[in-house]
Structure 1
Amino acid sequence: MNALAGDATMHARAGATQPIRELHDVRAHALPLDELLERNEPVVLRGIARDWELVREGARSMQAAMDCLRRRDNGQPVTYSWGPPEIRGRPFYNDEFTQLNFEVRRGALSQALDEIAAHAGDASPPMVYVASLLIDSRMPGLRAANDLGLPAQGIDAPPSIWIGNRVTASCHFDAMNNLAVCAVGRRRFTLFPPEQIHNLYPGPLDPTPGGQQVSVVDFDAPDFARYPRFRDALDAARSAVLEPGDAIFMPSLWWHHVQALDAFNVLVNTWWSSVPAHVPTPMHALYHAIWTLRDRPEREKQAWREVFEYYVFGDAERAGAHLPPPARGVLAPVDELLARQLRAMLIAKLNR
C-alpha cells in the first residue's frame, strides 16, 4: 500500500487545512481495518469502490444513477429533509437556535429523486436530502453490487445510503467508527480531532439537524469575531475532496464537516462500534453527568474528576485489581449478564 498525502484545502474563506492521509490501490477484501482502528486517524481510500455498479452508473449520467436507485427501491415511503433555496443546502437552525430551518417530508423515494432532477440546473435549488436510509430494508438488492464486504472482516453492521443535492452536513461527530463511500458526485470532508470540541462551538444537544450536536460556525463564511477559537480549530483541521469510488474512514468522535459539491450526490456509509453490543453509547452517561455533576461546586467537580479517573478513564483493571474476583462486582469486565444487571439497577434508581 502506498500512503500519500493529497492536495486538499478547505474553502478559501475559512483558511487552509492539512491534507488527510491517503491510501491508494487498496482492495475491499484487503481493507486494513485493524491498522486503521489502531492509528485512530482519518484515512482516504482512493478508488476502493470504483467497481461499484452505482459508481459506474453515476459516471455515465445523473439519470443513470437515479435509474439504478429506482430499480432497487421497494416502494416503501421514506422521510427526507426539504429546505427552501435561502438556506443554501445547509440544514441548520433559526437565528435563535430554537427551531430547525427545514421541514421533514414523507413520500416515495422517486418523489425525492424527481425533485432533485427538476432543480439540478438551478443556481440555488431547494434542499432535498434523504438521510441515513437503511439499504437492506428499503433498497433490497442494491448491496449485492455496491458493497465493501465488511461482514467478512467481522463488522456485521447495516449500511445506510444518503441521497441529495448540494447539501452541507454541519460539523459534528459520531459515537461510532464510520466508513463512508462517495458513490455519486464529489464531497469535501473537513475533519477535526476530538479535542477540538473546545474550539468548534457546538450547538444545542436538542434539537439537532441530524441527531447529533453540530458546530454553529458557518464554514463558508466563519465569523471570527463571534467565534474566535475557530481559528485554532482550523490549525488542526484536515481536509480532502472525495471523487466517486473513493471512501473515507473516520474514527469515533472525530468531528467532520461534509459538503456535497455536485447537483446529485449519493453516499453509502457503515457505522460500527469497537465494543460489544451490550455496551451502550456514552451519550447516556453524558446526559446523566450534566444532570448530576456539572452544576456542583468546583471543588466537588474536581474531586469527582479524580473518582472518574480512577474508576472509568484509567486502566480498566486497576480499580478491582486488589480485590478477589468474587468481590469485584461492577468492577469486573462488563459482559452481557453484568450489562443487564447494571441497566436494571440504573432504571430502578432513576425511577425512585
Structure 2
Amino acid sequence: MTTPVPERGAITPEDFREVLQSCRPVVLRGQVRDWPAVKAGLTSAGAFRDYLLQFDRGLEMEAFFGDRSIQGKYYYGETFSGFNFKREQMRFAAAVDAVIENLGRPESPSVYAGSIPLDSYLPGFTQDNPMPLASGVEPRIWVGHESNVSCHYDAMENIACIAAGRRRFTLYPPELIGKMYIGPIDRTMAGQPVSLAASGPSDPSLYPDFEPYRDSAFVAELEPGDALFLPKLWWHQVEGTEPFNVLINYWWDAFRLGPDAPYTAMLLAMIAISERPPQERAAWRAWFDHYVFRGEGHPLRHLPADEHGLLGPLKPDNYGRLRAYVMHLLRGGQ
C-alpha cells in the first residue's frame, strides 16, 4: 500500500536546513503560490504562455514528440537502442506553442520540452519568481501535455515546483537500487538511467525482486503552487496529470565541499574494483566502510584530533591536499 509523502506548509530557508539534513522527501504545500507564473497558469494555458514568453531570448532547444498512443510515456522502443518518440530541435517559443496548439486534439502528437535552463533561455523569470530555499541555483523548466517520466534518480538535491497543472510523484528510497532492474546507463531517454521494473506495469516474471516493493512507494500529489523537496538518489516517477503542465525545478548538491561528485567517485571505483575477485572486493568493501562510510566513527578516532593529518576535517586544507594526491595517482604517480 502506498504512503503519502510527509507534508509541511511553506517554510523559510532557516527551516529548510532541517529538511536538508533529514535526507527525506517532503511536500511543501503552497511554497510558491505567490509566484506570478503560478497565478498566470491558474488563469489559462494561454495566459501562462504570454507570461512566460515575455522573457524569451529566442534560443533553440530539444523537444520530444510522440504519438498520442504512447499516452505521454516517453520510453524505449522495441529494443534499448531505440525510443518510442522523436527529438526535434526548435526554438523554445515554438515548443511551447506546439503544446498549447495541440491541447484538446486527440489526433495531434504529444509534446514535451524539459530541463531548459531558465536564466539562459528566459532571463528575468528567476527574479520575478524567486526561490529563497535554493538561492543562487539556476532553475529549469519542463513544459508539456500529460506525461509519464520513467522512474529514475538524480545525483543532486531537487526542489520541484508546480507552476501549472498537476503532477504525481511516485518515490522509492535509494536502498532499493538492487531491486529496481536498472536500464542501460549510457542509452537513456534524457540522461539518467531508469528503473525498468518501476516504469511499467507489474510483471513478476520479468522483475520478481521488485514486486514485493511495488506497492510500498511514497506518493505525492502536487497542485499549482506546491513544491516537493527530493533528496539525491531517491527513485522517482513523475506524471503530469493535466492536459497542460509546467514544472520548475532546482538541482544542486547541498553538501558539496568542492568540485568532485560522489557519482564520479563511484564510476572510478567501478573501474578499479568491480571485476576483481570476490574475496578482494569484500576486502575493499571493508576498507570503504572504514574510511568512507565510517559506520563505527572516524577511522583515526583512537588518536588525538591534531594527529589525524590528511584524515582531519576536509576544510579548510585537507580537501585540496587529498585531491592533489588523487590527481597525482591518476596521472601514474606513486
| TM-score (normalised: structure 2) | 0.89
Q: CA deviation at 1:348?
A: 4.6
RMSD: 2.5
Query: SS at the partner of 2:291?
Result: helix
Q: Report the counterpart of residue 152 of structure 2 in structure 1.
A: 172
| C-alpha displacement of 1:124 | 6.2
Counterpart position of 2:35: 52
Mapped contact 1:49–1:181 kept (Cα < 8 A)? yes
Residue 231 in structure 1 maps to residue 211 in structure 2:
yes
* Equivalent pair of 1:88/1:124 in contact (CA under 8 Å): no
The one-letter amino acid of 2:261's match is T
Match of 2:246 in 1: 266
Say which of 62, 66, 90 aligns to 1:107.
Answer: 90
Does residue 79 (structure 1) correspond to residue 62 (structure 2)? The answer is: yes
Structure 1: gaps (5+ residues)? 1-15
Compared with structure 1, are the counterparts of its residues 335 and 38 closer, same or farther at alpha carbon in structure 2 (3 Å cutoff)? closer
Q: Against the structure 1 CA distance between its residues 244 and 187, is the aligned structure 2 distance closer, same or farther, given a 3 Å change threshold?
A: same
Cα distance change, pair 82–328 in 1 and its aligned pair in 2 (3 A): farther
Query: For residue 123 of structure 2, what is the aligned residue in structure 1?
Result: 140
Q: Aligned equivalents of 2:316 and 2:280: distance in 1?
A: 33
* In 1: Cα distance, 2:145 partner to 2:6 partner: 27
| Change in CA separation of 1:220 and 1:321 when aligned onto 2, cut-off 3 Å | closer
Contact 1:278–1:336 at 8 Å: present in 2 too? no
Question: Mapping of 1:132-281 within 5 angstroms?
Answer: 132-150=115-133, 155-217=135-197, 219=199, 221-281=201-261
Offset from partner CA, 1:183-233 (integer Å, 9 cap, x none)? 101001111111121222111111222221111136452222211222222
Q: Which stretch shows the higher mean deviation, 116-125 or 298-307?
A: 116-125
The equivalent of 1:9 in structure 2 is none
Contact 1:130–1:163 at 8 Å: present in 2 too? yes
2:5 matches 1:20: yes
What is the deviation of 1:282? 1.3
Rounded Cα–Cα distance in structure 2 between residues aligned with 1:124 and 1:47: 35
Give, in angstroms, the shift of residue 108 of structure 1. 1.0
**Separation (CA, whole Å) in 2 of partners of 1:167 and 1:315:** 41
Contact 2:16/2:133 (CA < 8 Å) preserved in 1? no
How far apart are the structure 1 equivalents of 2:248 and 2:185? 26
Amino acid at match of 1:293: I
222-231 or 78-87, which deviates more = 78-87
Indicate the residue corresponding to 2:19 in structure 1: 36
The 3 A distance-change label for structure 1 pair 143 and 316 is farther
- 8 Å contact kept, 1:50–1:246: yes
Separation in structure 2 between the aligned mates of residue 339 and residue 91 of structure 1, nearest angstrom:
41
Deviation of 1:243 (Å): 0.7
Q: Please give the alpha-carbon distance, in whole angstroms, between the structure 1 residues aligned to 2:78 and 2:315.
A: 46
Instruction: Give identity over the alignment, percent.
Output: 38
Residue 127 of structure 1 is matched in structure 2 by 110
Which residue among 68, 71, 89 is the counterpart of 1:88?
71
Task: Map residues 267-346 of structure 1 onto 2, 5 A cutoff.
Answer: 267-314=247-294, 318-322=298-302, 328-335=308-315, 338-346=318-326
Structure 2: distance between partners of 1:30 and 1:340: 29
Give the C-alpha shift of residue 341 in structure 1.
Answer: 4.7
Contact 2:198 2:214 in 1 (8 A): no
3-state SS of paired residue (1:318): coil
- State the number of aligned residues: 332
> How far is the alpha carbon of 1:70 from its aligned partner?
1.0
